Amino acid sequence: SSHFGSGVLPGPRPTSGAMAGTSPTGWDDVVAWRAGPFQAAPLCGFFPRSGFCVVPFPLGAAVYVLGGQHGGKLRNDVWALQFSAEGMHWAEVSPDLDPKGSVAAGQTVVSSKWSGRERFAAAVAAIARGRLAMYVCGGLGKMNKMADFWASEDSGQNWYCMTQQLPCGGRVDPGLLAVPGRYEQLVLCCGVSAGEGGMQMHADMWVSCDAGSTWEELSRPPPHMEPRAAPVVAFLPGDPAAGARRLLILGGTCVGDEREGLLADAWEASLDVGAKAVEWRQLGVPPEAPAGFSGHTAAFDGSALPSEPGGGEGEAAGGGRPAVSPGAIVAVFEQELRLSPPAAPHAWAPCGVQGDAGGALRLPGGFTAASLRLRFLSAWAPPSGPRLLAFGEGGAAAAEVGRAQLWEVVGGGDKGGIVVREGQDLTSPELQRLSTGALVAQLALAGNRLHFRLLLGAGPPAGWVNVALKDKELVRRM
């Protein structure tokens, strides 16, 4: 069995109809952010490169780039773009190596590294403060589609092969995520494999509870969910201890006899990895010929929060409009960035940029859809500095993004958390307590009362708390 984490492990052109309208259903409920113009990141030895992976550090302040190819040579190096008060700078985490390995006890293969590849999947997760897990799987190697799965527990410096043969087989452009707050729980979905008649697209989902050593397939989605590669995959904010988590699967590429191009649909999987259970539902129905996107040309930003929590899941209280999920999709169409709510990833609004005048944010010159990787630093990144990142074949660029104020719960350690009430009034109904150490986003601040939405930790998804009680601090501004 693995001891991983313990420290002892030996598009097509969008049509005018698809872009029509800047007030899609539910968009008025979303706190739209404003992004500043892109600034070029410093150059580094990683570029030029194509087919590489980009994964943001889950607690902000850094983003990692891995692998890919240039000039026909496949690479396996890892670099970090780090952000500080002094600006952006690159650091090589692990150099490009020719992997050599041996078999250790417990059927864990210890190697210097995974072999060079492109169009693979990567994910990161925080193990503890100062310790970061990183994962790599699938992709195109020298001879075929790769079916191995690799893990690192020191931010990509040293690597371990958790399995040489994934039960789903080799995949190109799959989706891969670690469950927030559960670094050892992983989700692998979709992608392209080699079938009997050529390429085969997938819409399946596999989960691992041991950092990638063993995998189990979950129940398949409804038949009308199209198989795809390179989808946008993201967990919605919520309580990691609550069991089921909401996973979004958005867009992606589709290649087959009946259809070829970019998808623009949205699916939500209510997923409990520990229980090996999933429930699927489609979020809205896209119109005919929508403008599609993929996990390369689009990214999900969980910091764009609904202005009101609404009625929770499904429809709002009283049978009104459906409650809006937190977050927004940002995608690139003809060099222009546009936003859409997750439930309607086909009604796009321009991203505001350059002051109060607004306007559409555009990628800098030299970035093309063919080699683009669009990513966000997490919602709890440092309060200043860039957070929207674009990576192309020749380098990277970053833009600042407005976001919600974040707070950390520091009180209630001896009482199981702090008191949460449904409303601002101190006589309103009391809800579940908010756990000490939880991270919340500010929806409103009225004197000593904070209206929040839960991002990380245990507690109700939204509510009101005291900032301080007498002279004791309960929540601390980050």
The fraction of the chain above a pLDDT of 90, given in percent, is 49
Decide: 254 and 295 in contact? Cβ < 8 Å: no
What contacts 24+ positions apart, CB below 8 Å, involve 192-197?
192/145, 192/229, 192/255, 193/145, 193/168, 193/169, 194/144, 194/145, 194/169, 194/170
Alpha helix (H) ranges present in 14-72?
A: 16-19
Q: Under a CB-based contact definition with an 8 Å cutoff, are residues 272 and 278 in contact?
A: yes
399-443: per-residue pLDDT in tens? 887 655 778 999 999 999 999 999 999 999 999 999 998 888 777
16-30, 123-137, 285-299: the lowest-pLDDT one: 16-30
Contacts of 355 (CB under 8 A, 6+ apart): none
Per mean pLDDT, which range of 2-11, 235-244, 324-333, 468-477 is the poorest?
A: 2-11
The pLDDT of residue 168 is above 90: yes
> Do strands 182-195 and 472-473 pair parallel, antiparallel, or not at all (unpaired)?
unpaired
Written as six digits, the tokens of 473 are 């601090």
What is the mean predicted confidence (pLDDT) over 441-463?
84
Q: Among 17, 27, 20, which residue's Cα sits nearest to residue 339?
A: 27
Residues with Cβ within 8 Å of residue 307, at least 6 apart in sequence: 29, 30, 31, 443
CB-CB contact of 35 with 104 (8 Å): no
Residue intervals in the chain for CATH 2.30.30: 406-477
pTM assigned to the model: 0.75
Better-scored residue on pLDDT, 274 or 359: 274
Most confident of 72-81, 241-250, 341-350: 72-81
pLDDT at position 26, please? 36
Q: Where in the chain is the domain with CATH 2.120.10.80?
A: 51-101+108-284
Task: Provide CB contacts within 8 A for 378, sequence distance 6+.
Answer: 56, 57, 58, 59, 60, 302
Of the listed ranges 103-117, 276-290, 305-319, 416-430, the least confidently predicted one is: 305-319
pLDDT digits over 300-351, tens only? 987 665 433 333 333 333 333 333 456 788 899 888 888 888 877 777 776 6
What integer pLDDT is reported at residue 370 of this predicted model?
77
Question: Mean pLDDT over residues 237-247, rounded?
Answer: 70
Q: 406-477 sits in which CATH class? A: mainly beta
CATH number of 51-101+108-284: 2.120.10.80
- For residues 324 and 313, give the distance between their C-alpha atoms in angstroms, rounded to a whole number: 9
Which of the four pLDDT bands, split at 50, 70 and 90, describes residue 131? confident
Q: Report whether 281 contacts 235 (CB < 8 A).
A: no
Indicate the pLDDT class of residue 100, thresholds 50, 70 and 90.
low
- Predicted local confidence at residue 351, as pLDDT: 64
Give the pLDDT score at 2.
34
Whether residue 181 is predicted with pLDDT greater than 50 in this model: the reply is yes
d(CA 182, CA 177): 11
User: Considering the chain, what is the average pLDDT of its residues?
Assistant: 80
Task: Evaluate the CA torsion angle 36, 38, 43, 46 in order and state its sign.
Answer: positive
Per-residue pLDDT for 99 more than 90?
Answer: no
